[in-house]
Structure 1
């Protein structure tokens, strides 16, 4: 009798487990069904196959695999400067932590974050690299940071091309924490900061003052860049500018190269990678396997964020530095699978990042990101859901690669 009871309990346990898995599958797939996978005519055959593999994903991709703590206290410690913290020392420590395979150490990270958020601004100039409005702020202690302002409401949705619109400052901040979560600390430290407009003007260079303009009785800045125009300035709200403050790596030299998977930015033209089924073979002849894997890693990262504007890459000690992530978070309801072209065309990758992604399945990805107060305040629930949906599409692409490799052999 006892054996029968145990068997019944075990039977009902299995039924309950299957029910939970079924509900989870339904939840993820129903969410994904509400989203649109954006295809191009050139890449649609890959995307159709990946979607087929998505529909056939096994339950192992939906289950929580790990209870591991990914963010340590260095991300959460509350810091109060009490006069014992020497800003010069903090900046020296932050710059000395930059090395091969990392742009920061987790030790004392909260101290650096707090300093970036609160240190007095001693100079304000324009940051002229790139094509969009950016300020180069010097903080007390002689540390340079790049300031990308907020142009849009946090829930603004962009339709059309994946690179539509100006940079979204919150994408830079999410990129920093996401890279840390993926154990790829190759995004510069990026934090939210709200700055008094007068605080900028008081220490601004002549060129900044020369680019002020009145709009609706408010003094604004129109910038000094390729796409900066006088009739479309950035204006403070209630005398303040909100944006992302990005640690500027003062002393390191980066080598810039054109991405093999760059877009042509013309809807009537296609890049070679969008037309050639064997494109990856030509890339393999030009780059090392290590660099190819670097490009696959950053493609996966960009796909999660939907940053389809990676037209160049920059190397530091043969590692790609994950810079300029502001074009992410454009539309939580669309997924441009062609961002994953380096992965599905080459089907060659390092296991480290893939294993970390698997550890973050079953909701662990966004659960961990939501532990960061700043992200809960800046990232909408729709974008968090989109991250989970795109993770499943990455897993489907890996399944396609397994199938492709099996067919070849």
Structure 2
């Protein structure tokens, strides 16, 4: 009898748990799809809206911390690109940075040099990174460091209609998250820099056969070749490609 009561209790607890989880999922799915925000026609309109909200803040939130300029100058010095000599040594240092509650330290003179290596080190090998829902590539730099490349899909002024998860990843969001995390002392986001790569010389010529099969090459009206990429991922398909400019250059981020 006691065993039966225990079994019934476990079943009831599991049913309650399933109901709670299902209810929470439905709740968040509903509120993620509810469009309560006003329509924004451009990024400039969004900036004006943010400025208006700032002006409406209580005066106490507008008082500057007297140590603002000290912290600002330290941060600017820490993240301003700096020349480097040995990229391998810099990445060896960076590999010691991650801790339980941070990916990189608040201040380290190596950071400025490390960011410069991401911008300048030659690309030696590229492969598809099929995991996940978004197009991204696994890139190996000359110092054998592996990084992730995400391409630009939209113009900077483009406004994506729909839910918060509509459209492709905005590559600049990765950069904003990195620097915002540094400013707010929430250093949990990966190190990121913006970089322009060439889809022919940097990607296609350095890619393996699988990567090349996930790219298209078409001849333009002026007789030049245009290289485009659709990659391998959960939502990647040949109908949605990302292409470079007339010289096959494309902006993106290295993570």
TM-score normalised per structure 2: 0.70
Rounded to whole Å, the distance in 1 between the matches of 2:99 and 2:244 is: 37
| Pair 1:150-2:159 in alignment | no
Describe the superposition over 1:46-71 as per-residue Cα deviations: whole angstroms up to 9, x where unpaired. xxxxxxxx999632123334442231
1:114 aligns with 2:122: no
For 1:74, the equivalent position in structure 2 comes to: 78
**Corresponding residue number in structure 1 for 2:231:** 223
Partner of 2:250: 241
| 2:200 corresponds to 1:203 | no
Which residue of 1 is the match for residue 174 of structure 2?
Answer: 172
Shift of 1:219: 2.1
Runs ≥4 residues deviating over 4 A: 39-44, 54-57
Task: Compare relative contact order (CA 8 Å, sep 6+) and give the higher one, 1 or 2.
Answer: 1
Specify the SS of the correspondent of 1:162.
Answer: coil
1:123-138 counterparts in 2 under 5 A?
123-138=125-140
Identify the residue that residue 49 of structure 2 maps to in structure 1.
Answer: none
The Cα RMSD (Å) is 2.7
Residues in 1 aligned to 2:31 and 2:210: alpha-carbon distance in whole angstroms: 43
Aligned 8 A contact 2:97 2:103 in 1 = yes
Structure 2 unaligned blocks of 5 or more:
1-29, 36-53, 221-225
- 1:2-401 superposed matches below 5 A: 40=31, 58-68=58-68, 69-70=71-72, 71-76=75-80, 78-81=81-84, 85-105=85-105, 106-107=107-108, 108-197=110-199, 198-215=201-218, 217=220, 218-237=226-245, 238-246=247-255
Classify 1:58/1:189 alpha carbon distance in 2 versus 1 (closer, same or farther; 3 Å): same
Equivalence for 1:264: none
2:33 and 2:227 mapped to 1: Cα distance?
A: 47
CA distance in 2, matches of 1:208, 1:40: 39
Q: Distance in 1 between matches of 2:229 and 2:76?
A: 39
Number of matched pairs = 196
3-state SS in 2 of match to 1:243 = strand
Structure 1: which 5+ runs fail to align? 1-38, 45-53, 247-409
Deviation, 1:96, is 1.3
